[in-house]
A and B are shown apart, each in its own frame.
Chain A
Amino acid sequence: MSKLPHSSDCEQGHNAAPYVLGALPDAEDYREHLGGCPLCRADVAELALVVNALPASVPAVQAPENLRRRVLAAVRSEADLLRAATEPAVAVPRSPGRPAWGLRTRFAGALAAAAIVALAGVIVLDHGPSAHERVTAAQIAASIPGAHASLRQISGHGELVVSGMPQPRSGRIYEVWLQRDGMTQPTDALFGVSSRGSATVAVPAGLVGAKELLVTSEPDGGSSSPTGAPLIRIALSA
């Protein structure tokens, strides 16, 4: 095809096409090879242009409206929380040289951590038969990566312990909800956090039969149904 050096001159050249199509079982090896082989790199860049055009060949389908609503609601609530959480950092005077990068990097780091935190899932610690205490770790929203929460249940009495939570924004407060029979019911547990982000909140009786405990940020005085995505979720297995 061409007299220029080409990936066909490389013994790994036959892997370029399967690689760009995502069909190489040992892609990691080839990726390593790419690092040291300009011929294959050029080949891959060229073939990738074609692969990038393939999505345009699929029949066009309109994205469902409920998908749009779900995504934008999640993003808006995370943006609100992040703004609240990063405000003190923003207030710190910055040198005029590179104002944005420090924050940008910190933000990116927080988000990366957030994604991992969100995957952590629910862990149940059972203290065994002697103590009637049960501690359930919470799932934390990606928007508040540094936060921890757990629910201690001692003989039917519940206590929510949180730490590392950002302050609720001004005019807002955290509210505890219980999910039962597919409904999200408000409780009278409203709380703020200490300057270090911790709080211990008595959870009202009525945990029995509830499936999940949620915490959201609500306007002062609380709401009768949640207005934002849950920040904390604790599964209450029977």
Chain B
Amino acid sequence: MSRLRLSPTTPTEELRKLADEELMERVAGADADAFEVVFERHADVAFSLAYRICGRRSLAEDVTQEAFLALWRSGARYDRARGSVRTWTLGIVHNRAIDALRRSGVHERRRVDDEGLHETIEAPERTDEQAIEHAASAEIQSALHSLPAEQRRVIELAYFGGFTHTEISSMLGTPIGTVKGRMRLGLQKLRGHLGDWQAVGA
């Protein structure tokens, strides 16, 4: 298996044929061309996520830039056994976007390091994960909207709003136990839908 190549730049067309995981091996060896291909593949979805969380283009731009530079500088830490490049990248974007959001005002600062996050998104079943990643965004949207409103709300407040269960509990005037229960029920229902998509995608 090829690891680090120190040969001069490979033509970009060749690089475009490589899987993300192979590109990341080159990124770990400071191959800027390989990075560019990874960037082009994921920049739009990364920016969309940052924008959804931050709600401001300028902040979303800063977050996306920071996240990709972190990916470039810590490419050697990427471990394909623990998830796809896309999931890893979006995990970094999510983490930094929530951080920026909290720093920018409303929220009290909370820092979760990227390392810990990588653990959060650990996914042993790669095929499963890939099928889910390819599930059309319209399907994920409709699955979210099919959830009871109170379950969708706690999931969105947590994931896109960066609020802790304690904060959500006091915002909604709902006991913490109930908030946690709604999170679990909502995620489990979504998991059911994802299973269907997986069957379709397989």
Where the two chains meet, the residues of A that have a C-beta atom closer than 8 Å to any C-beta of B are 14-25, 27-28, 31, 34, 44-64, 66-68, 70-72, 74-76, 78-79, 82-83, 86, 90, 99-101, 103-105, 107-108, 111-112, 114-115, 142
Contact = CB atoms under 8 A, between A and B. Distances in A.
Contact of A74 (B44, B69, B123, B136): B69
Nearest to A74: B69
B132 to A, nearest CB: 5
A114 to B, nearest CB: 6
Interface centre among A16, A51, A62 (most CB of B within 10 A): A51
A48 to B, nearest CB: 5
B64 A115 contact: no
Contacts of A19: 120
Interface string B154-197: 01001110111110100000000101110110011011001000
B13 to A, nearest CB: 17
22 contacts: A18-B179, A20-B187, A21-B187, A22-B159, A23-B159, A47-B187, A48-B123, A49-B132, A51-B120, A52-B87, A55-B48, A56-B135, A58-B49, A60-B137, A61-B51, A63-B43, A72-B36, A72-B39, A78-B32, A79-B30, A101-B3, A112-B73
Interface of B: 3-4, 6, 28-32, 35-36, 39, 43-49, 51-52, 57, 61, 64-65, 68-70, 72-74, 76-77, 83, 87, 90-91, 93-95, 98, 112, 116-117, 119-125, 128-129, 132-133, 135-137, 140-141, 144, 155, 158-160, 162-166, 168, 177, 179-181, 183-184, 187-188, 190-191, 194
B28 A108 contact: yes
Contacts of B29: 100, 103-104, 107
Contacts of B133: 52-53, 56
A60 B194 CA distance: 20
A50 B180 CA distance: 16
B55 to A, nearest CB: 12
Nearest to A115: B73
B173 to A, nearest CB: 17
A64 B47 CA distance: 9
Main SS class of interface, A: helix
Given A54-B140, A111-B76, A71 B128 contact: no
A56 B87 CA distance: 11
Interface centre among A14, A27, A34, A53 (most CB of B within 10 A): A53
Contacts of A112: 73-74
A74 B65 CA distance: 10
Contact of B168 (A23, A47, A67, A103): A23
Contacts of A74: 69
A100 B4 contact: yes
Contacts of A17: 180, 183-184, 187
B129 A52 contact: yes
A85 B52 CA distance: 39
A48 B120 contact: yes
B116 A24 contact: no
Given A23-B163, A50-B187, A78 B72 contact: yes
A36 B106 CA distance: 36
A114 B75 CA distance: 13
Contacts of B70: 115
Contacts of B166: 25
Given A61-B44, A107-B28, A52 B73 contact: no
A68 B43 contact: yes
A56 B135 CA distance: 8
Closest 10 CB pairs of A and B: A108-B76, A100-B4, A23-B158, A79-B32, A63-B47, A21-B158, A17-B184, A17-B183, A58-B52, A100-B3
Contacts of A48: 120-123
Nearest to A108: B76
A59 B180 contact: no
B73 A20 contact: no
